[in-house]
Structure formats: C-alpha cells, structure tokens
Structure 1
Amino acid sequence: MSFVPNEESGIKVLYEDNHVLAVEKPVNVPTQEDASGDPDLLTLLKQDLKIRHQKPGNVFLGLVHRLDRPVGGAMIFAKTSKAASRLSEAVRSRSFRKLYAAVVHGSPGAPAGRLEHHLLKDSRTNTVSAVKSGTAGAKQALLDYRVVGEKDGLSLILVELHTGRPHQIRVQLQSIGCPLYGDQKYGAEVNRPGQQLALWSLLAGAPHPVSKESLLFRSVPPHQFPWSAWPEEIYEKALPDELV
C-alpha cells in the first residue's frame, strides 16, 4: 500500500502494513523529540496513525534508526514491539540496508572506496570527531562510497552505511577533505548560512520482521540545487531492484 496520508500530517507514506511503516522524512524535522521543542517525526506519525486508524489510547511506533534533522528521505518504523525488536536486530546484524546520496565540496582521492574511522561524540556540543583507534569511548564507523558525478567543484556521492554512528557520513567525508554542501557544523569554512545540507536517504531496506520478505523503500531528493545539478535519472539508477 502506497499513498499520501491526510493533509494535516503532509508526510509521504511509502508503505504500510500491520507491522511496518515506511515514510519519506521531510528535511529539517527532528526524527524524535529534542531540546528545540519543534514538532518531531515520531510524534507526528503517531498522531497520524491515531487519526487515520481511529485508534483509542496511545499508539505504538518503534524508532529503529534515525536521520539527522537536516536530512530527508526514506525511513522505516515498527508498528509493533515484535517488529521493533526484529528490525533493531537487523540493524545490529547489518542486514538493515541504508543507501544515501551526498553532495560534497571537492572530490575524494579515488572514485570509489571504503572509509573506516573511529568516531567520538561530545554530548555537550553535539559534535562528533574522528579520533585514533583505541580512544576511550570511540566507536568504529564504516561506509562504502562511489562518486557518480562531478560539477563545478562539487561531487555527487553514493554512500552505503555499514554502521550507524551519529553524524557519521558528515564527519567521515569531512575527514577526507570533502565536507557536505550546506553543512555548517562540519564545513562552515566552505558553506554559507542558510544552505540546506545535501544529504538524502535514497533507500532503507530490511527483511520484513514477520514474513522475512525483502523490503526496499526508495526516495529521491527534491529537484532543487544542488541535487538539480545532475539529471534525476542518476538517482533512479542508483536504486537497486531488490535487497541483496
């Protein structure tokens, strides 16, 4: 089932059944409640489910992965506690697939490759830094990337995450000299205030928590700069037909 729910929520639903809800997260909406007090995606979806399905009492919706506030695109939620447990296990076992598009300044040293860093989060400043292996509190971060376009000093990169660390893509790409377009936190020296962070969740996929069927949910970025610097077909071609 694929549809756009009521106008009140304005959030595009990519798929829904009794166990799973997949949506296209709008940019600049927090995934869950934060200190800003702004409306967050998890709460908005719970309210939408309550209205559309006329559910009494509290609505369960499990958050199994996250996107940074400035990031838009495909996300998967669990509608039951059993589904939440099984999807969370898929994340831990790395059978949960996450594919992103990113526009960065400059170009990596190779057209494709794997990046491995150890990242340390500073909760006081909500920033993450790449540190030496063995640093107390640091966690391994692993991703694969492929450059699919270059134009006017910018590169369009496809990123497949193998771990899910906070700000992982932003910090790892900045660490190799390729800060994301619009990233004020990790690229203020090359970005201007007001630019939208160019990171998009193209695909989220996992085995269905009950049927074990391969689920793939796709979303393409809006046709506006910097995404519009490349033809829309480039994003469509990046999306696989099935989970592998």
Structure 2
Amino acid sequence: MAITDQDVLYEDNHLIAINKRGGDIVQVDVSGDASMEDMVKDYLAKKYNKPNGAFLGVIHRLDRPVSGMILFAKTSKGLDRMNRLFHDRKVTKTYLAVVREMPPQKKGTLKNWLLRDRKKMITKAYDREVKNGSYAELTYEVVGTLEGYYLLKINPLTGRTHQIRSQLSFMGCPIVGDNKYGYQRGSHRRTICLHSRSLTFTHPIKEEEMTIKASLPEDGFWEKFNVLLKGDF
C-alpha cells in the first residue's frame, strides 16, 4: 500500500510524521514486504518531483503489528538532532493499549529487567536484575473500560524492544491480539491493540514545543474507544 496525504500527520522542511497502519513494517525485513521507509520516500519523491529520490531518515521504530504515530527525518540535520533528543530521553512517548484483564492498580509504574530471546524473537520480563538484561520502566493509567475491555495510557521511560508488550504481559495484562505475549488468540489482521498515540518534543530546528498526535485506527474495534479519550492524550 502507498502513503497518501491522509496518512501524513505533520510535515515541514525537516520532519514528516505518519499515522502507521498496524501490519506495516518500518524497514525492510526478511519478509520482503514493502516498508514504510520506502513508501514514504516514494511519497516525497512524487510530491516534490524528485526523480532521483528523496532523503529519508528513520528516527525510531514501531513493531509491525503496532499502529500510530511514527516520525521520519527529511534532512540529515533533522535526523541527527532528533536522534540526540531520543537518546537523551527528551521525547515524551504516549501509547494506548487495550487489555482484557484489569491491572492491579488504576495507575502505576512498572520496573523490570528485559532479556531478548533472539531465537524465539521474544522479550522476557523479570522482576529482578538478570545477566545481560536491560532495565525497563514505564508508567500506565487506566483511562476507562468499555464492553469488558480496559483502555490504558502508557508512557515508556526507556526504549526497549517489545518493552510495553512484555511488561504488560508480565503484569498479567497481555495486549488484545498479542498471542506472542500471552493473549488467548491473535488477530486475523496480524495486528495488536497497541497504538502510538503521540510524541511531544522540542522541534530540533524551530525550537518550538510540539505534540503530534495520531487518531485511532478505524478497523471496527479501535474507534469504539474514542468515547473514552478526553484531555490532552
């Protein structure tokens, strides 16, 4: 599938933000499927009539089954400075997740050590420090409940592979559709109910505080939860 104007959440001379569809890959992998990186490059090349192609830098990534806000750089200057902001943890990332089990508390902080199993391509969470493990921390809050499901707002404070999926599963609240991390069944669309809602940061060139937000997918399920979304997230 191609990127269209409707997929673009924000664009200026240095950055472009896309509302990623669940199931799309950010960069080329062994599947050989079209990547968002290539699709956004094609979009920019056509939009600005660049027959030799457009520059595009991948700033961060989202797992294939995850939807929502993802940011790319259109210039090397934008890429370098955004990479620095991410590295220095000066970007606030907000996710929304749907789970079937009520968390033990309405809001809380999860602190775990994560260990990546590269053979099974899964990240295991532990409640103690483990050899070769990486510390992971996130905060969560129950936004509301709807039809037996719970909507969570999540702010990861570290950026680990499969961090949110692993930590919520360890808490006893696997994400709906995420059978890789303990949910009872997978989605036929090969997506999970984890959505990158927004990024908040100081623009690296304009030096203006900004928040870029991605609307929920319209897939017959996710959009039901719009009634629970109030306030700034």
TM-score normalised over the length of structure 2: 0.91
| Match of residue 214 from structure 1 | 209
| Match of residue 181 from structure 1 | 176
| Match of residue 58 from structure 2 | 63
1:228 offset after TM fit, Å?
Answer: 4.2
| Match of residue 134 from structure 2 | 139
1:222 offset after TM fit, Å?
Answer: 2.5
Tell me which of 15, 19, 26 is aligned to 2:21: 26
Q: CA RMSD in A?
A: 1.9
Which digits, 9 at most, give the CA deviation of each residue in 1:179-223, with x for residues without a partner? 0000021024x2245264101111022211112111211112134
Is 1:126 matched up with 2:121? Answer: yes
Tell me which of 155, 159, 163 is aligned to 2:158: 163
Structure 1 residues 191, 225: closer, same or farther in 2, change over 3 A? farther
Aligned residues: 231
Is 1:72 matched up with 2:67? Answer: yes
Structure 2 Cα separation of the partners of residues 199 and 122 of structure 1: 21
1:72 offset after TM fit, Å?
Answer: 1.0
Tell me which of 230, 235, 243 is aligned to 2:229: 235
1:60 offset after TM fit, Å?
Answer: 1.7
Structure 1 residues 105, 123: closer, same or farther in 2, change over 3 A? same
1:236 offset after TM fit, Å?
Answer: 4.9
Unaligned runs of 5+ in 2: none
1:42 offset after TM fit, Å?
Answer: 0.8
SS at match of 1:185: helix
Q: Is the 8 A contact 2:111 2:127 kept in 1?
A: no
Is 1:203 matched up with 2:202? Answer: no
| Match of residue 242 from structure 1 | none
Structure 2 Cα separation of the partners of residues 205 and 107 of structure 1: 28
Which digits, 9 at most, give the CA deviation of each residue in 1:150-195, with x for residues without a partner? 244421100011111111111100001000000021024x224526
Is 1:9 matched up with 2:9? Answer: no
Q: Is the 8 A contact 2:112 2:137 kept in 1?
A: yes
Tell me which of 100, 109, 114 is aligned to 2:104: 109
1:100 offset after TM fit, Å?
Answer: 0.7
Q: Is the 8 A contact 1:198 1:226 kept in 2?
A: no
SS at match of 2:229: helix
| Match of residue 172 from structure 1 | 167
Structure 2 Cα separation of the partners of residues 36 and 74 of structure 1: 23
Please list every run of at least 4 consecutive aligned residues from structure 1 whose deviation after the TM superposition is greater than 4 angstroms: none
Q: Is the 8 A contact 1:182 1:197 kept in 2?
A: yes
Structure 1 residues 153, 51: closer, same or farther in 2, change over 3 A? same
| Match of residue 36 from structure 2 | 41
Structure 1 residues 225, 107: closer, same or farther in 2, change over 3 A? farther
SS at match of 1:237: coil
SS at match of 2:215: coil
